[in-house]
């Protein structure tokens, strides 16, 4: 297959990279297909790339959070503190004081945060953290690669002014207004300019998946015809006399965005027949399953790993795009477990606060007022992760509620996820850091 002409445009690096990363050797099912069948797959695939490129163009003005926030933060620091800093290469390093006894004698420190100014600002601060004395005096600003605090070079005040500069109200309002205004424009023409490319890209992607699934025999000819009818706008499709219901996919009890479960059953009659659509899935983007087959398939895909590569597998990362940003720590945590080799400190850590409380009750002069957290336990792969995939009804609707327009629904879910993820990224820093520490997530 040759590259579609749209991919030659240097402005579409993402599309070109997707083709570049594709396997060099075409699969057997493609070679075994007739010329007519191969042409159908080629045509649908090229159409999908082209429409996705148009969607990328429509979304081009929606900047990533970091790219949008950086100049705002730089200006906020300049206005409030009269300093010019590289917010990506200047780090906020915060240490907590370890005190001992009723007189709170300082005996040491431990680090609680080391983030770039940009990330610190995005995740925000709590009111108590803005007060003078909230952190040890050894806390400060450090430039990437420097051996001393920035305070020695530039006079940056401690306490509330710095924190207020990082979390000033107009800065936060600006971060909220841009994605909201872009994704939910009041102008009908702008709304259509985003809606139509999205729907076209979704329809073309599903058509390409259907052509491939038919050749691979992942779906039956009748399934293929049903999918094409949905692409054409059918809201109440039938398959061999049974109704087909549009469902969301749930994984690990999290509702996913972008995947579609086509559940095949008569009304009020539960069935184990369904077709699952996972956009751009590297193995089977569209396939007929029973629930047992899906569970076995997912377990194989989510646990298969390259032993030479550490961290989440390629498939785990691929699938994370359908998971809400707020749920990523829990999602990734299901694929790991604590390693067998714990240090004494790690094994003792759950009991340390209780023991320290007992000591403090017996002798307030001889106990620590706050204990530093232990080092994270080394994580190893989980061979049997909790997945529990299943189809679920649309949010706020009963399981037998009539289908709605699938493409409008996917568009609304897409916008809601983008906006929700942006808001979650700006959640209170302490809550997010605690969640990440508890879940030991690579997403953090």
Q: Tens digit of pLDDT for each residue in 80-130?
A: 778 888 889 888 888 888 877 666 777 788 888 888 888 887 766 677 777
How far apart CA 126 and CA 58 sit, in angstroms, is 37
Higher pLDDT, 18 or 285: 285
**Average of pLDDT values for 307-327?**
92
Q: Per DSSP, what are the bridge partners of residue 94?
A: 113
Distance of alpha carbon 368 from alpha carbon 103, whole angstroms: 11
SS (H, E, C) 107-172: EEEEEEEEEEHHHHHHHCCCHHHHCCCCCCCCCEEEECCCCCEHHHCCCCCCCHHHHHHHHCHHHH
The vertex-137 CA angle with 139 and 106, nearest 5°, equals 120
If you ran DSSP here, which 8-state letter would residue 340 be given? Answer: S
Q: Model's pTM, two decimal places?
A: 0.80
Question: Quick one: average pLDDT of 15-21?
Answer: 57
- Quick check: 151 and 157 in contact, CB under 8 A? no
Q: How does the average pLDDT of the chain come out, rounded?
A: 81
Q: Rounded CA gap, 223 and 210, in Å?
A: 9
Distance separating alpha carbons of residues 345 and 372, to the nearest angstrom? 11
Q: Which two tokens stand for residue 90?
A: 């200047």
pLDDT by residue (tens digit) across 285-307? 999 999 999 999 999 999 998 88
Q: What is the pLDDT of residue 300?
A: 97
pLDDT of residue 271: 85
- Running DSSP on this structure, what letter comes out for residue 233? T
* Res 254 pLDDT > 70: yes
User: 3-state class of 91 per DSSP?
Assistant: strand
- Tokens 């300082």 found at: 106
| Burial profile 392-408: b = 16 or more Cβ within 10 angstroms, e = fewer | eebeeeeeeeebeebbe
CA distances from 333 to 214, 252, 365, 438, 439 (A): 35, 11, 40, 9, 6
The sign one gets for the Cα dihedral 13, 16, 20, 22 is positive
State how far the Cα of 430 lies from the Cα of 417, in Å rounded to an integer. Answer: 23
Percent of the chain with pLDDT over 90: 45
Q: Each residue of 203-245: pLDDT tens digit?
A: 999 999 999 999 999 999 999 999 999 999 999 999 999 999 9
**Interval 408-415 mean pLDDT:** 97
pLDDT of residue 147: 55
Written as six digits, the tokens of 44 are 């649908």
CB atoms inside a 10 Å sphere around CB 35: 7
pLDDT in tens, 31-66: 889 999 999 999 999 999 999 999 999 998 887 777
Q: What is the pLDDT of residue 1?
A: 44
């Amino acid at each position: 297959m040759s590259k579609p002409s749209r991919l030659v445009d240097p402005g579409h690096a993402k599309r070109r990279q997707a083709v570049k990363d594709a396997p060099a050797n075409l699969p057997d099912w493609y070679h075994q297909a007739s010329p007519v069948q191969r042409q159908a797959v080629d045509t649908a695939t090229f159409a999908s790339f082209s429409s996705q490129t148009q969607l990328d163009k429509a979304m081009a003005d929606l900047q990533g959070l970091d790219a949008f926030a950086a100049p705002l933060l730089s200006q906020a620091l300049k206005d409030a503190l009269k300093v010019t800093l590289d917010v990506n290469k200047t780090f906020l390093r915060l240490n907590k004081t370890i005190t001992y006894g009723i007189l709170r004698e300082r005996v040491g420190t431990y680090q609680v945060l080391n983030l770039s100014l940009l990330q610190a600002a995005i995740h925000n601060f709590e009111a108590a953290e803005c007060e003078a004395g909230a952190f040890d005096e050894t806390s400060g600003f450090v430039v990437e690669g420097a051996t001393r605090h920035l305070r020695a070079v530039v006079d940056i005040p401690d306490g509330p002014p710095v924190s207020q500069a990082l979390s000033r109200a107009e800065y936060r309002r600006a971060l909220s207004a841009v994605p909201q205004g872009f994704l939910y424009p009041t102008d009908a023409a702008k709304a259509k300019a985003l809606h139509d490319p999205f729907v076209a890209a979704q329809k073309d992607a599903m058509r390409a998946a259907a052509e491939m699934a038919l050749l691979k025999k992942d779906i039956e000819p009748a399934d293929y015809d049903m999918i094409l009818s949905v692409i054409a706008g059918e809201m109440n499709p039938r398959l061999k006399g049974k109704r087909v219901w549009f469902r969301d996919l749930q994984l690990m009890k999290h509702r996913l965005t972008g995947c579609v479960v086509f559940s095949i059953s008569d009304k009020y009659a539960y069935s184990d027949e369904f077709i699952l659509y996972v956009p751009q899935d590297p193995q089977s983007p569209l396939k007929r399953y029973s629930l047992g087959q899906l569970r076995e398939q997912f377990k194989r895909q989510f646990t298969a790993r390259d032993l030479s590569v550490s961290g989440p597998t390629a498939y785990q990362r691929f699938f994370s795009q359908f998971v809400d940003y707020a749920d990523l720590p829990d999602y990734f945590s299901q694929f790991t477990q604590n390693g067998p080799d714990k240090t004494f400190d790690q094994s003792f850590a759950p009991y340390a606060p209780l023991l320290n409380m007992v000591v403090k009750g017996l002798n307030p002069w001889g106990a620590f007022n706050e204990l530093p957290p232990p080092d994270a336990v080394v994580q190893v792969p989980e061979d049997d992760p909790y997945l529990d995939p299943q189809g679920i009804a649309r949010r706020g609707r009963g399981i037998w509620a009539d289908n709605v327009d699938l493409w409008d629904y996917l568009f609304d879910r897409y916008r809601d996820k983008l906006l929700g993820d942006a808001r979650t990224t700006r959640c209170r820093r302490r809550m997010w850091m605690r969640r990440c520490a508890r879940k030991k997530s690579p997403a953090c």
